[in-house]
Amino acid sequence: MTAMTQPAAHPATHPALRTALCDLVGVRYPIVQTGMGYVSGPELTAATAAAGGLGILAGATLTLEQTRTAVRAVKERTDAPFGVNMRGDASDVLERGELLVQEGVRIASFALAPNERVIRRLKDAGLVVIPSVGARRHAEKVQAWGVDAVVVQGGEGGGHTGPVPTSILLPQVVDAVDIPVIAAGGFHDGRGLVAALAQGAVGIAMGTRFLLTSDSTVPDAVKAEYLRRGVDGTVVTTVLDGIPQRLLRTDPVERLLRQKALGRAGRSLKHAVAFQRVSGISWRDMVREGLAMRRRHDLGWSQVLMAANTPMLLRASMTEGRTDVGTLASGQVVGVIDDLPSCQELIERIVAEAGAVLTRLAAPRAAAKPA
């Protein structure tokens, strides 16, 4: 059995950092580690949770039984609250919700929100449901369906993302809904946390920043690829799966950008076969989910076929270290990250920086300097 991580001795924090998010999910700090496929495994999730943030286990790329095993691995490492990320369009989403209830996990996270029926069933089971959205209308819709909070990701964020920057999207969504809003896209330090709170958010969610920690199990060679990038080192493209996503501008991505459509279709078919084998999802369910994706995003059939690219190319890089063939989802914030702290060090740093900023802003203005 893995030794359980002991809770850190937390320093006193500024009272403004005790937000509605902390009360909703039972964490000490309003900081969320997002559920990144092939990245947010038990080690990273437990380290975040033990440090006082909300760790989200990436369950969307796992089978049902793999998810159960991973959940138990987190619980062996910490008794702090954590969540599990799932696919809202997965055919077994209700079974996964029941798994969370059985295992005592309270928070269900979604990259794309499930439908109203599923949300109601999960809520009836006692789960806190927190989907991610990229537009005001999506936030309004899921609020009407009964979710507890939303993560709002601006265009700076990594992976699938939208065109509106966080600084514009966040206040727009905060003004439109009455549920807690968590800000994502472009965050890495205490100043960003304070800025998000000032715009009405109840906390921040970070992916790239947590990927680049010593607790992340991503191979060192992959982390090195991230650390050497500047703020212009990412690109937003639809070539992978027909939906815009932000990636590091690596050689494989450059090749994909140059590749003709026929070549991309052939590669997509190969990856679809590989994903079916690895995930254990039946072909029938894959077709059903493909049809749902086609309707939701107005995709053509070739784009639906391409959707198998993302998990397989991410798996190649994030678990096997194959940066020569895999892709690397990344937020623009990668360009201002230059170290690999532990999750505890990172969270304590952010909280200390945020507290210092809040204290400075609340202090009386210094007397005007003499001429």
Q: Residues 172-231: pLDDT tens digits?
A: 999 999 999 999 999 999 999 999 999 999 999 999 999 999 999 999 999 999 999 999
Give CA 89 to chain center in angstroms: 17
Contact 110, 35 (CB under 8 A): no
Mean pLDDT of 339-364: 96
Q: Is the pLDDT of residue 371 over 60?
A: no
CB 361 within 8 A of CB 23: no
How distant, in Å, are the alpha carbons of 253, 257, 294, 352 from that of 250? 5, 11, 28, 35
The helix (run of H) or strand (run of E) holding residue 283 is helix 283-297
Nearest partner of 198 among 352, 351, 357, 353, judged by Cα: 357
Backbone φ and ψ for 237, nearest 5 degrees, come out as -145, 155
Residue among 345, 38, 341 nearest 214 (CA): 341
Q: How confident is the model at residue 1 (pLDDT cuts 50, 70, 90)?
A: very low
pLDDT for 152-164, tens place per residue? Answer: 999 999 998 999 9
DSSP secondary structure string, 123-165? HHTT-EEEEEESSHHHHHHHHHHT-S-EEEE-TTSSEE--SS-
- Per domain, the residue ranges of the chain are 15-220+337-356, 230-318
Report the alpha-carbon distance of residue 21 to residue 49 in Å, rounded: 14
b/e map of 23-49 (b: 16 or more CB within 10 Å)? ebbebbbbbbbbbbbbbbbbbbbbbbb
Share of the chain above pLDDT 70, in %: 80
pLDDT in tens, 250-295: 887 887 777 655 455 555 555 555 544 544 555 565 555 555 555 5
Nearest to 113 by CA among 123, 100, 98: 123
pLDDT at 75: 98
Rounded mean pLDDT of 123-151?
Answer: 97
Contact predicate 139/171, CB 8 Å: no
Average pLDDT, the chain: 87
The band of 168, judged by pLDDT with boundaries at 50, 70 and 90, is: very high
Q: Indicate the CATH number of 15-220+337-356 among 3.90.1150.10, 3.20.20.70, 3.40.190.10, 3.30.70.580.
A: 3.20.20.70
Return the structure tokens found at 235: 């690109």
pLDDT tens, residue by residue, 231-243: 999 999 987 777 8
Strand partners, 32: 54, 205
pTM (two decimals): 0.85
Token digits of residue 344: 């505890």
